[in-house]
Amino acid sequence: MDRQQVVLHMNHGMGDNSYAHNSIVQQVADLGCSSGPNALQLVSNVIDIVDTTTCNLNLKPPIFQFFLNDLFGNDFNSIFKSLPQFSEIIEEKKGHKCGACFINATPGTFYKSLFPNNFLHFVHSSFSLHWLSQAPKELGNEENVHLTSTTPPAMHEAYLEQFQKDFKLFLKLRSQELVPKGGMVLTLIGRDKSQKTHDIRTAWSLIGTTLNDMVLENLIEAIKLESFDLPLYNPTIEEAKEVIEDEGSFTLQRLESVILDWSTNIKEAVDDDNNNNLDLNTKAEFTTKFIRAALEPLLKAKFGEEIMDELFVRYKNKIVQLIMGVKILEFPTLIISLIKKLELSDRWGIGSPQKMGPVRNGNGEQYSPTARNGDRDRDRE
């Protein structure tokens, strides 16, 4: 079973925080949705899971409001053009028993506020939070565009501090936007503290090596490379946990690191050892396309569009050499499941619950975030 579907589930039972009592309208945000075939994957997964839950509990399906978020340059139009086909597929699978589903775009950086306070029921972000708001300033990293095994400790520390600052801000903002007991599931590219695997930083650093080669051949100006650093950081599981605990808005339900092959989504073309070169090129091509899709806009803005094809042809050759040398390329993926704590009004200086305005649960009922369960039960009577 998909690990995301294992983590994504509704609260069981019939209690105050159960899905059964909070299921009329569900606001769900996918932060860093991108625009490819997977842009609507969360929507599909949530509909499947809720459909199973409502059937098991004999409940009416809820109304869904999905908010797809990414930066302003994201191709939201391609997502919207795919919606008619997506709706047909959902209707074929679920029939008319599925509740109404509204899909909206919310452009902007997730390092700023995106939604009103106490608005969302669930937040999801997949393979986005390794992007920093910016690369650390004044690194003096003239030999590479990212962290490597030979990078000075001060540069490692600068990247870690930027990650801590950004991730803490992300958690603070989401805690304001989620309703009490709202959930959040995050997956991001991590790092193995023991360095036993060739993690994704190897892929980032090979971009720097390729750019350096092109500088030596006068295809790129050296001054452009000297002032360029990738705004990416891959935290260890310990670094992520420390920020979550320090920020304090969420209860950590689950935190694990799963090792994935770089080419985990490729169907091996052949298994015969005699055709190993074909298999090798397939893996290298897949990895190159993945890295190009992620980094080309950034690289194009800095070095110009005219060198992109040459850059990634050279990059692919380096990936081939790397795979030949180590056979298996892996990277850790961090899976994080969080629940917003109940009492947060004083932490961010918002004021008392009365000054915050009414907080509503999934049924639209008002309640005080600090009220006891019994008080809320009496308010319903």
List, for residues 1-48, the tens digit of each pLDDT value: 344 444 444 454 444 544 444 446 789 999 999 887 788 988 989 888
Contact in structure between 321 and 349 (CB atoms under 8 Å): no
Pairing of strands 330-340, 366-367: unpaired
Cα 157 to chain centroid distance, Å, stands at 23
Helix (H, G, I), strand (E, B) or coil at 298: helix
Contact in structure between 99 and 137 (CB atoms under 8 Å): no
- Assigned token pair, 150: 């030979």
Contact in structure between 27 and 62 (CB atoms under 8 Å): no
Q: How many other C-beta atoms are found inside a 10 Å radius of the C-beta of residue 344?
A: 21
Strand order in the sheet with 63-69: 101-105, 63-69, 25-31, 120-126, 178-189, 330-340, 250-261
Give Cβ neighbours of residue 326 (< 8 Å, ≥ 6 apart): 198
Instruction: Specify burial of residue 337 (Cβ count, 10 A radius: 0-12, 13-18, 19+).
Output: buried
Per-residue pLDDT tens listing for the chain (381 residues): 344 444 444 454 444 544 444 446 789 999 999 887 788 988 989 888 888 888 888 888 888 999 999 999 999 999 999 999 988 888 888 776 677 889 999 999 999 999 999 999 999 999 999 999 999 886 666 667 888 777 788 888 999 999 999 999 999 999 999 999 999 999 999 988 765 544 556 778 889 899 999 999 999 999 899 888 899 999 999 999 999 999 999 999 999 999 887 766 554 444 444 444 457 888 888 889 888 988 999 999 999 999 999 999 999 999 888 888 776 677 889 999 999 998 644 445 444 333 334 444 444 444 343 333 334 333 433
Q: Give the bridge partners for 85, in sequence order.
A: none
Q: Which amino acid is at 145?
A: V
Q: Which amino acid is at 379?
A: D
Tokens 């490819």 belong to: 36
Which secondary-structure segment (H or E) carries 122? strand 120-126
Among the listed residues 110, 126, 183, the one whose alpha carbon sits nearest the alpha carbon of residue 362: 183
Helix (H, G, I), strand (E, B) or coil at 113: coil
- From residue 133, alpha-carbon distances to 38, 159, 167, 230 in Å are 23, 11, 10, 11
DSSP structure class, residue 344: -
Predicted confidence at residue 327, as pLDDT, reads 60
Q: What span, in angstroms and rounded, lies between the C-alpha atoms of 165 and 133?
A: 9
Which secondary-structure segment (H or E) carries 27? strand 25-31
- From residue 45, alpha-carbon distances to 105, 171, 346 in Å are 18, 23, 35
Contact in structure between 197 and 236 (CB atoms under 8 Å): no
Contact in structure between 324 and 198 (CB atoms under 8 Å): no
For the chain, the first-to-last Cα distance in angstroms comes to 42
Q: What span, in angstroms and rounded, lies between the C-alpha atoms of 223 and 143?
A: 12
Compute the Cα dihedral for 244, 245, 249, 255 and give only its sign.
positive
- From residue 317, alpha-carbon distances to 145, 258, 279 in Å are 19, 28, 14
What is the value of pTM for the model shown?
0.80
Q: What span, in angstroms and rounded, lies between the C-alpha atoms of 14 and 281?
A: 54
Q: What span, in angstroms and rounded, lies between the C-alpha atoms of 229 and 275?
A: 38
Cα 187 to chain centroid distance, Å, stands at 5
